[in-house]
Amino acid sequence: MDYTLKVSDLKVQFYTRRGIYKALNGVHLSLMQGEIFGVAGESGCGKTTMGLTIIGLLPVNAAVTEGKVIFLDKRDLMAPLRKGNGEETDKFNLRQSEAVTKKVNKELADVRGSRISMVFQDPMTSLNPVLQVGFQIAETVITHQPRSLVERKLARSRATQDDMEQILKLLKEGADETVITRYAESKGLRGIVTQVLNVWRRNDLGEAKKEKIILSLHSEKLGSFEKIVLESMEKGKGMPGWMKIPGISRAAKNVILREGYTKAIELLSMLEVPNPDKVVRMYPHELSGGMRQRIVIAIALANNPDLVILDEPTSALDVTVQAQILELTRHLKHRFNTSFIFISHDLSVLSEVCDRIGIMYAGSIVEVAPTDVVFNNPLHPYTKMLTRAIPRIEGYEIQGVGGAVPDMRNVPQGCAFHPRCPDATEKCRTIKPEMLEVEAGHFVACFPKR
C-alpha cells in the first residue's frame, strides 16, 4: 500500500508567559495516496496545529520535541524542526528558535506550495487584498515551476494544426493521458498536454466549443526577443547575463507572468468559476466568500501537489456554498489522485467527503476508522459523545459532551479524557492507552471493557 504521509509520535509544545502548552502529545497518522482523511475534534484539541506542523509553519515560540513526519520520498519533514536531542524542555531560547525557523523556511522551500499546500480557514485573510487574484495564482506557479509556463507557451508556438487535430482525435477515441503525453513529447509539445486536458475536462463547455478551443492552440506568434528568453529558460539556463539588465529582465518576467495568468484562467475554469478571464483581474474584496475559497483552492492546486491540507474550508460559508466546496473536493480527489487532510469540527461535513476519519482529543488521535464505521460503530467514549451530538432528521434529543476541554499546560495523567468519561477506571487515570487495531482498519486508544 502506497502512503503519502506517515506521522509518528509527533509532539509539539508552545512556550508562553502563562506556561508551556503541550499542543500535540504523540500524534500517529497514516495517509494513503488519493485518500481524503478527516480530522475532527473540539476547538483547542490540536487539529490546526497538526496541519501547520506538517507544513512547517509554526511560530518562533513553538518547538517539535519529538516525532517524525515521513513524506513520499522517505524525507522526514520534521528533521529541521526538532530540537537537538528531541527531549522536552522547560527552557525557551528565542535566538535559537529564530535560527530554527530560518532553517525550516530554507529546507522546506521546495516542499511548501509545490508538493504540500494548505487551504486556511478564512480565505479573506489568506489572500493579499492589494493584488489581483490571478497574480496570486500565477505567482505560485512562477515561484515553484516557472519552466512549466515556458514549456506551455513554446508548445503553442511550435504546434501545427495537424498536431492539434491528431491530439483531438486521440481524445475522441478515449486515449488516456499517458498516450496523449507520449504523442506530444514525440513532437516536442510536452507543455501543451495540460492545456488540452484542462479544456477537455471542463463541464461548462459543450463538445463543439471544446474542440474549437483545442484546435486553436497552435501557431502562436512569438517575438524574437520572447523566443530567445523562453528557449534559454527551457534549456534550464535561466536568463543570460545580458538579459538581467533591469529593462530587459522586466520584459522577460512579463512574458512569464502573462502565461501565469493564462494558467490561472484554466485553473478557475476547472473549479467551475464563471467568467474566469474577468475574475483573474479582480481583487479579493470584489468576490463572494465561496469564490474566494475557490481562489485559495486554485492556489493550493496550482502545482499539482501530492498533499493538500484543508483547515476548516467550509466553516465561514453558508450551507449552499459548503455543499459546492465539498462536491469540488470529491471531484479534485478523483481527477488528481491527490491526498487530502480535511480538518473540521463538524463530523457531518466530514461524513460527506472523507474515506477515513481520525478523532482528536487533547493533542492525540484517539480513534481512526473508515467513515461509516465511525458513525455506526464508534468505540472510544469521546467519539460516541461526538456522534450523539450531531443533529439528525429523526429528531431525538441531542446530547452534548459533558465537562470542559483540558488545560493543555497540565494535561491529565493517563487517558486525557478520563475526567469527562463515564466509563473511566483507575487504570484510565494512571496509564495512557496505546492505539490498537480492534478490527481491520479500525484503531482506538481505549482500554477494552471487561
Contacting residues for 338 by C-beta, under 8 A, at least 6 apart: 34, 301, 304, 305, 306, 307, 308, 332
Burial (CB < 10 A; 0-12, 13-18, 19+), residue 280, is: buried
Helix (H/G/I), strand (E/B), else coil: 249? helix
Give the whole-angstrom CA distance, residue 207 versus residue 200. 8
What is the arithmetic mean of pLDDT over 378-386? Answer: 92
| The pLDDT of residue 163 | 94
- Read out DSSP for 341-369? EEE-S-HHHHHHH-SEEEEEETTEEEEEE
Give the whole-angstrom CA distance, residue 431 versus residue 42. 23
**Residue in 74, 68, 72, 84 with CA at minimum distance from that of residue 24:** 68
**Residue in 129, 217, 128 with CA at minimum distance from that of residue 171:** 217
| The pLDDT of residue 323 | 84
Q: Residue 431, CB half-sphere, CA atoms under 13 Å: how many? A: 9
Cell digits of residue 17? 508567559
| The pLDDT of residue 395 | 62
Question: What's the sign of the alpha-carbon dihedral 162, 167, 172, 175?
Answer: positive
Is the pLDDT confidence value at 450 over 50?
no
Is the pLDDT confidence value at 83 over 60?
no
Is the pLDDT confidence value at 276 over 60?
yes
- Identity of the residue numbered 248: I
CB atoms within 10 A of CB 239: 16
| The pLDDT of residue 36 | 94
Query: Would you place residue 84 in the very low, low, confident or very high pLDDT band (cuts 50, 70, 90)?
Result: very low
Phi, psi of 378 (to 5 degrees): -70, 140
Question: What's the sign of the alpha-carbon dihedral 52, 146, 259, 181?
Answer: negative
| The pLDDT of residue 350 | 92
Where is mean pLDDT largest: 95-99, 214-218, 230-234? 214-218
Whole-prediction pTM value? 0.89
| The pLDDT of residue 90 | 61
What is the arithmetic mean of pLDDT over 39-50? Answer: 93
